[in-house]
Structure 1
Amino acid sequence: MSFSDLGLSSPLIQAIEAHKYVQPSPIQQRAIPAVLAGKDVLGIAQTGSGKTAGFVLPILQLLQSRKPAKGRSVKILVLVPTRELAIQIQDVIRAFGSRLPRQVRSLAVYGGVSINPQMIKMNGTDVLVATPGRLLDLVDNKAVQLSEVEMLVLDEADKMLNLGFKQEVDRIFGLLPQKRQNLLFSATVSGEVEALVSRLLSDPVTMRQEEETSVPDLIDQLAYAVEAARKGPLLRYLLQHEDMQQVLVFASSIRTADNIAGKLLKHGVQAAALHGDKSQGARTDALTKFKAGRLRVLVATDLASRGIDIQFLPHVINYELPRSPKDYVHRIGRTGRAASPGKAITFVTPEDAHHFKIIQKKMGKQVEMIQTDMLDLHGY
Structure 2
Amino acid sequence: MPFSSLGLSSVLLKTLTAQNFTEATLIQEKCIPAILNKVDVLGIAKTGSGKTAGYVLPILTNLQRALLVKNRSANVLVLVPTRELAEQVATVFKTFSKDLERPIKTLAVYGGVSINPQMMALQGVNILVATPGRLLDLLNSNSISISEIETFVLDEADKMLNLGFKEELNKIISLLPQKRQNILFSATLSNDIQNIHQLLLKTPVIIKIEAEEFSLDLIKQVAYIVSNEKKGPFLRYLITYHNMKQVLVFASSTHQVDAIVNKLRKNNIDARAIHSQKSQGSRTESLTLFKAGKLRVLVATDLMARGIDIDALPYVINYELPRSPKDYIHRIGRTGRANVHGEAISLISTAELDHFGVIQKKMGKQVELIDSENIAMK
TM-score w.r.t. length of structure 2: 0.95
The aligned counterpart of 2:154 is 154
CA distance 1:215–1:222, shift in 2 (3 Å): farther
The aligned counterpart of 1:33 is 33
Distance (Å, rounded) in 2 between the aligned partners of 1:289 and 1:7: 36
Distance (Å, rounded) in 2 between the aligned partners of 1:158 and 1:215: 21
The aligned counterpart of 2:349 is 349
CA shift for structure 1 position 261? 1.0
CA shift for structure 1 position 2? 2.0
The aligned counterpart of 1:102 is 102
Which amino acid counterpart does residue 315 of structure 1 have in structure 2? Y
The aligned counterpart of 1:2 is 2
Which amino acid counterpart does residue 96 of structure 2 have in structure 1? F
Q: Does 1:209 align with 2:181?
A: no
The aligned counterpart of 1:364 is 364
Aligned residues: 378
Q: Does 1:135 align with 2:139?
A: no
CA distance 1:242–1:284, shift in 2 (3 Å): same
CA distance 1:334–1:18, shift in 2 (3 Å): farther
Contact kept? 2:69, 2:148, Cα under 8 Å:
no
Structure 1: gaps spanning 5 or more residues: none
Distance (Å, rounded) in 1 between the aligned partners of 2:216 and 2:16: 23
Q: How does 1:129-278 map to 2 (within 5 A)?
A: 129-211=129-211, 215-278=215-278
Distance (Å, rounded) in 2 between the aligned partners of 1:338 and 1:151: 29
CA distance 1:278–1:214, shift in 2 (3 Å): same
CA distance 1:14–1:247, shift in 2 (3 Å): farther
Deviates more, 1:277-286 or 1:350-359: 350-359
Distance (Å, rounded) in 1 between the aligned partners of 2:340 and 2:98: 24
SS of the equivalent of 1:373 reads helix
The aligned counterpart of 2:119 is 119
Distance (Å, rounded) in 1 between the aligned partners of 2:232 and 2:19: 36
Distance (Å, rounded) in 2 between the aligned partners of 1:367 and 1:296: 26
The aligned counterpart of 2:290 is 290
Structure 2: gaps spanning 5 or more residues: none
Deviates more, 1:14-23 or 1:87-96: 14-23
CA distance 1:97–1:222, shift in 2 (3 Å): farther
SS of the equivalent of 2:265 reads helix
Which amino acid counterpart does residue 216 of structure 1 have in structure 2? L
Distance (Å, rounded) in 2 between the aligned partners of 1:74 and 1:90: 14
Distance (Å, rounded) in 1 between the aligned partners of 2:103 and 2:95: 11
Cα shift readout 1:45-74 (whole Å, capped 9, x = no counterpart): 221222111111111222223355531111
Contact kept? 1:247, 1:297, Cα under 8 Å:
yes
Distance (Å, rounded) in 1 between the aligned partners of 2:255 and 2:123: 40
Contact kept? 1:27, 1:50, Cα under 8 Å:
yes
SS of the equivalent of 1:185 reads strand
Contact kept? 2:246, 2:290, Cα under 8 Å:
yes
CA shift for structure 1 position 212? 5.9
Give the % identical residues: 57
CA distance 1:89–1:194, shift in 2 (3 Å): same
